[in-house]
Amino acid sequence: MPINGTLSDIGFVSLLQFPNSSRKTGLLTVISIDGKAEFFYRKGELIHARYGKKKGRDVLVDIVDWSEGQFSFESGIEPDETSIQEDLHHILMWALKERDERKKDGVASSAGLSVEIDRVLSSKLDQLLGTIPGIGYICMMTPEGQLLARSGVDERFMQMLEPFMGSVKGFVAEYPGGLTGKAFIEGDSVSLAIAGIDTEKTVVIATGPEIKLGRLSMVLGRITRELGGE
């Protein structure tokens, strides 16, 4: 039976050490709005990690600051490859130091390390979220598809939204000349609206399927007007 929980219940560093301290073999999956990361353990030793296209110890640098999301641990699952051979505690110390160095130098990793989240703007997104019924999540991205600010999000809605976010970030980053218009995606469980606010910011709105595209377009217009004054 899997062990489930949220990152708000246990810090990310402590979570990574849980299978190690109990000598467990299995798969630790961590899901946040930024994506899904997987960590494989054998008798307590972390032997493989992956996050998107990235593998190995560099994964820890990109996600060591995650503080929101959920996790599950399933015993007995073995990886199909090994990408880590160092001691977990040594890797964690290295990842924290490397994280600090990248922040100091302002250097993002080649996999797209997020810029520092704008807490003031995130608070405004939370306020907007609370005034518009039916909206599940709002975030803003840079032209490179990096997360700039985000509202809070319900854990269950986040599970439905997570598979879409990697594609959305790629769409924003690869849009020729930067996204200046609007785009809509209507799925079975989630609908998305994307719009360029200016040359530096793109807003993404996510709703459940009960919000039709006409209503979503009106909401997108309101939110872009609200945020355009930032």
Structure confidence at residue 82 as a pLDDT band (50, 70, 90): very high
- Residue 182: alpha-carbon gap to chain centroid: 22
What sign does the CA torsion over 80, 89, 105, 199 have?
positive
Most confident of 35-39, 183-187, 226-230: 35-39
d(CA 50, CA 94): 17
Annotated domain spans of the chain: 3-105, 119-227
pLDDT for res 176: 67
- Over residues 13-22, the pLDDT tens digits come to 888 888 988 8
For residues 216 and 135, give the distance between their C-alpha atoms in angstroms, rounded to a whole number. 9
Identify the pLDDT of residue 111: 44
Report d(CA 176, CA 52) in Å as an integer.
23
pLDDT of residue 115: 58
**The predicted structure's pLDDT at residue 90:** 86
DSSP one-letter code for 109: -
Average pLDDT over the chain reads: 84
Q: Which of 16-25, 43-52, 181-190 has the lowest mean pLDDT?
A: 181-190
Q: Exposed/middle/buried for 43, CB within 10 Å: 0-12, 13-18, 19+?
A: exposed
pLDDT of 211-226, one tens digit each? 888 888 998 999 988 8
Q: Tell me the C-alpha distance between 52 and 88, whole Å.
A: 21
Average pLDDT in the 18-36 region?
Answer: 88
Select the more confidently predicted residue: 1 or 43.
43
Overall fold of domain 119-227: Beta-Lactamase (3.30.450)
